[in-house]
Amino acid sequence: MLRDHNTYPILLNKDELTSLLRLINMNSQAANASDLAMLDYKQFIQFIPQLAFVCFSRPPIDKSSFPPIESLNALLSQFEQATRDRGKNTMLYEDPDQSSF
- 74 pLDDT band (50/70/90 cuts)? very high
- Look up the pTM and report it: 0.82
Least Cα distance to 45 among 66, 61, 30 occurs for 30
- 31 pLDDT band (50/70/90 cuts)? low
Phi (first) and psi of residue 16, to 5 degrees:
-65, -40
Contacts of 91 (CB under 8 A, 6+ apart): 98, 99
Q: Tell me the C-alpha distance between 51 and 43, whole Å.
A: 12
One-letter amino acid of 36: L
Q: What is the DSSP letter of 21?
A: H
One-letter amino acid of 31: A
Average pLDDT, the chain: 87
